[in-house]
Every structure is written in C-alpha cells, then in structure tokens.
Amino acid sequence: MPLALLFSFAAGHAIAQDAWPSKPIKIIVPSSPGGGTDVYARILAFGLTGSLKQQVVVDNRPGGNAAIGAQAVAHSAPDGYTIMVSASPALLLNPVIFKKLPYDPDKDFAPVSAGVISPLVFVVHPSVPARTLAELVAIGRKEPGKLNFGSAQITSTPSPIAHRLNEEINRLMKAPAIAEKLEAHVLIPVFGAPAEFAARLKSQRAMWTDIIAKIGFKVE
C-alpha cells in the first residue's frame, strides 16, 4: 500500500512560494510510533529539516483507524505548516466504510506525494500444512476458528507549496543517505507530481469502494 503525504490547504487559498516556510513544520502521523508509516515520516522529517532550513517534527495521533490524526490535519490552518503522512485508511478506506467522518478527504486535503510503497508478505508457521494461499483458505474453511493471524494496519487546486514539498520529497528520496534508510526499512520510493498522486487516490478509492460493496462490509 502507498503511504500518502498530504497537507491541509483550503481551496483557492494562495500563499507566495518564497514566503514558505518561515517557521517549524509539523508532520502528523495518524498511527502509533514504530510502524512503517512512522519510520518513513521520521526519515522524511530529518531530510526536510535540512533542505527547508526549518525544524520539521513528527506528531503521532493514533486512533479511530487514522481518523483522529486526519481530523487534526483537516482542521488545522491551511498554510502548509501541518502535513500528514498516512497509510491508506485515512483517505481511501475510511470514506468508504464509515457513514460519517469528521473531515472531507477531497476538500480538506491537497495531495503532495505518493511517498513510498511498503511491500506486504504473507507467511505461515511451519506447523501449518499449507504451502499456497489456496491451501490455507481450504484449511480455514474445513476447520473454522482454528487458525489465528496477526497483521499490521495498512494505513483539482495544486498549490505552490504542494509543488515545493513534492520537489523536495522527490529529491530527498533520490539522495543516497535517504535512499539507504528507505531501503533498510523495505520502503520503495514512488515519484511523481501532485496531480499524479491525486489521480492515484481517486483510482484506489474507487477500487476499494467496489470491493467493500461486493463483500457487504459495514461499520456501525
């Protein structure tokens, strides 16, 4: 799943690019410290602090399937000083599975960069007599309740600031020192412009909407 990097920015609001940044920047991560999203945010904060010449700090706001952190960003001043690094729930899954959210995923955020992709691996304990996913599914159906599992949470108007951040992030992820850190944590950089990221979000949300509708998943 891609990790989304966005910041709250009101539609039609313009800020001169050369006036930003003039004070510290906060990255809100809507998940707990130590996960892949948090690791990427801290690598990014380190790099941006040097390139933007302003302190960039990480603020973890876990809870609500990423909704708490996303709400904090959505309700912050639309000036580019509060940004969010999040996995898919905040902007892709939550709008599909929750009837009401304390933020609008389209109106309250401006896409900046797709960030990185963190590959997922499906493994089983050697004691489980399954060597393929189909075999594992068959075992689960034959003996319901016997298998246990664990998983990690996967969590129009681009502005001059969005473009500036996008350029800085793309440049940083190509820098050897940052690239090595990303590789060490099995994080694959995704390059592209803000408009490309916006299109990716739209496409993936449509995909999840279709999947969730087909399986009949609902959150009450």
Say whether pLDDT at 178 is over 80: yes
Catalogue all structural domains in the chain, each as residue range(s) with its CATH number: 4-119+157-215 (3.40.190.150)
pLDDT recorded at residue 1: 44
Please compute the mean of the pLDDT values over residues 176-181 and round it to a whole number.
Answer: 90
Please compute the mean of the pLDDT values over residues 102-122 and round it to a whole number.
Answer: 82
Which of 91-95, 108-112, 147-151 has the least mean pLDDT?
147-151
Which of 77-86, 140-149, 172-181 has the least mean pLDDT?
140-149
pLDDT digits over 127-164, tens only? Answer: 888 888 888 888 888 888 788 877 654 334 657 788 88
pLDDT recorded at residue 154: 39
pTM here is: 0.64
CA–CA separation, 135 and 196 (whole Å): 38
pLDDT recorded at residue 155: 38
Given a contact cutoff of 8 angstroms between Cβ atoms, the answer to whether 84 and 57 are in contact is no
E-assigned strand segments in the chain: 4-7, 25-29, 56-60, 82-86, 110-113, 116-117, 188-189
